[in-house]
Amino acid sequence: MPVRKHDQHMKMFKNKGKDETTLRRQRVEVSVELRKAKKDEQILKRRNISINFKEENPSLGHGRAAEIIQPSLEEILEAVNGEDSQLQLLATQATRRLLSRHKDPPINQIIELGIIPRMVEFLGRADNAALQFEAAWALTNIASGTSEHTRAVVEGGAIPAFISLLSSPHMHISEQSVWALGNIAGDGPIYRDALIARDVIPPLLALVSPATPLGFLKNITWTLSNLCRNKNPCPPLDAVQKILPVLIILLQHEDKDIISDSCWAVSYLTDGCNDRIQVVVETGILPRLVELMDSPDPIVLTPALRAVGNVVTGTDQQTQEAIDAGALTVLPRLLRHARSVIQKEAAWTLSNIAAGPSHQIQQIITCGLLPPLVEVLDKGDFKTQKEAVWVVANFTTGGTVDQVVELVRSGVLKPLLNLLLVKDSKTILIILDAISNLFLAAEKLGETDKLCLLVEELDGLEKIENLQNHENDMVYRAALGIIDKYFSGEENTDLEPQTGQDGLYDFSVEKKDFNF
């Protein structure tokens, strides 16, 4: 949930506290979610089901694969616990096959058999590569399930076994271990850090070389991304610093899956406090990320945009680096992207740039972002519109009078006022805040009346008036404040040229700072 650091209490006061608030909104994980899990996120755990049967049993064709006799669970249990290596291999293979079937793998039943410790033991059988491989595969697929499933594998002692297998002379075993470790790391910060503490990173990185086959490299990249993933806490800084140089190299790869997973990794590393963002910014990777943000392929674009979006939640300087890398020149296209999730992310990114100082806001204007902003505000889907409202609110808070005028000239007012009908109190409140900001700018220009007319013409006055009946107290107060300040007694202003002040000296404070 985007969180604004701005204290809500501030809204109750007429004057805005420009200086002491920062408007940047970090991507904060919500502990409560009502919606279905997001569809556009990177996958956390994966089961190995795709390796074809030919490889394991070249003499058998597809047609005959079905004829393999599948032992019962009892038979498996007996064989695995027995001493006959051949039977052990067959039973392990059978287990792996069960766990690799497309539908409903019996993970729970396998765990309940209690054979995991034995499988972990098999991982250490350097004399029997086939057994090692089958056990690794089976355990990979168990670890790919729920947290409980993963825990069963970890508690079976698999972490050190898998880490030592990274250096196995057999590439397919080391690749399977990479996969298993990826699943374990993907479970959450605790196992991730447990892996890091066991020094998983050096042997993992050692596997990356120009000669690494593509499929293997994809697995490594994915596992690396899971080692960067998750917060509370973030991965240890020294681990990050070890991984980053390799990620930078991987980002230059030509395969889009590798690029995508590397981008996700970077996006996780930038999803945190400014110090973490700084570590990434210092690698000089921003121009490449911005280039990838412009990719035609959503699997690359999405994480690249996410990463850049995270960077601009940072300090003004970090944001400036993203701007210098060209982020603002790509955003117009993304705001007009065919997929609404991308529009939404782009608008979120823009909202944080708009929270910056006025010279950055100027760059937003120069890069032609106002027209697409107005478009999404008008026609975007609801989630995008909400983010676009934040852009306007931040822009009007930090922008100079001239910049705010430019925003109004771009036609922001009509869609903004239309959004006062949305069914979301928070968004309404932010819009009212933005409207107040517009009025403050108009006051400085002495054009309050003009803005009043414009707001009324666009049916905004009626909407604000209706909000005075809103159930939400803050919304009601904000609407009332605007009506009181700008729309009551508007008759007096058009009456007479010599409309006088009531006192000898017009301190104008009586209008502006009246609430002191």
Interface with another protein, residue 211, by CB under 8 A: no
Using the minimum distance from each CB to another protein, give the nearer residue, 33 or 282: 33
Q: By CB under 8 A, tell whether 358 contacts another protein.
A: no
4 Cβ contact list (under 8 Å, min separation 6): 23, 25, 390
Are the beta carbons of 393 and 434 closer than 8 angstroms?
A: yes
Of 7, 17, 21, nearest to 355 (Cα)?
A: 21
**Three-state secondary-structure class, residue 2:** strand
Q: How many CB atoms lie within 10 A of CB 335?
A: 27
Cβ partners under 8 Å of residue 380, min gap 6: 340, 343, 344, 347, 388
Q: Is 282 in the site for another protein (CB under 8 A)?
A: no
Kindly identify the residues of this chain, within the stretch 402-431, that bind another protein according to CB under 8 A: 422-426, 429
Smallest gap from Cβ 436 to another protein, in A, equals: 13
> Should residue 15 be labelled a site residue for another protein when binding is judged by CB under 8 A?
yes
Interaction of residue 504 with another protein, rule CB under 8 A: yes
By the rule CB under 8 A, 509 interacts with another protein: yes
Name the segment binding another protein (CB under 8 A); options: 52-60, 81-89, 218-226, 502-510. Answer: 502-510
User: Using CB under 8 A, which residues numbered 312 to 351 contact another protein?
Assistant: 340
In this chain, which of 13, 57, 64, 324 binds another protein, going by CB under 8 A? 13
What is d(CA 352, CA 316) in angstroms, rounded to the nearest whole number? Answer: 10
For helices 158-165 and 129-143, the axis angle rounded to 10 degrees is 130
Cβ proximity to another protein, 324 vs 381, nearer residue: 381
CB nearer another protein, residue 2 or residue 124:
2
Instruction: Name the residue among 327, 366, 368, 363 with its Cα closest to residue 348.
Output: 327
Assess contact for 122 and 132: CB atoms under 8 A.
yes
Q: How far apart are CA 490 and CA 503, in angstroms?
A: 20
Which of 52, 72, 209, 515: binder of another protein (CB under 8 A)? 515
Considering just the CA atoms, what is the radius of gyration of the chain in Å? 30
Q: Does 506 bind another protein (CB under 8 A)?
A: yes
d(CA 329, CA 435): 27
Q: Rule CB under 8 A: say whether 501 interacts with another protein.
A: yes
Report residue 27: phi and psi, to 5°: -80, 100
Report the residue from 52, 72, 209, 499 that binds another protein according to the rule CB under 8 A.
Answer: 499
Residue 382 touches another protein, criterion: CB under 8 A: yes
CA 245 to chain CA centroid, Å, is 22
Size of the site for another protein (CB under 8 A): 67
Coil, strand or helix at 128 = coil
User: Closer CB to another protein, residue 291 or residue 459?
Assistant: 459
- Interface pattern 449-488 for another protein (x via CB under 8 A): ----x--xxx---x---x---xxx-xx-----x--x---x
49 binds another protein (CB under 8 A): no
Does 32 bind another protein (CB under 8 A)? Our answer is yes
Residues at the site binding another protein, with contacts judged by CB under 8 A: 1, 8, 10, 12-17, 19-20, 30-36, 340, 379, 381-382, 422-426, 429, 453, 456-458, 462, 466, 470-472, 474-475, 481, 484, 488-492, 494-496, 498-510, 512-516
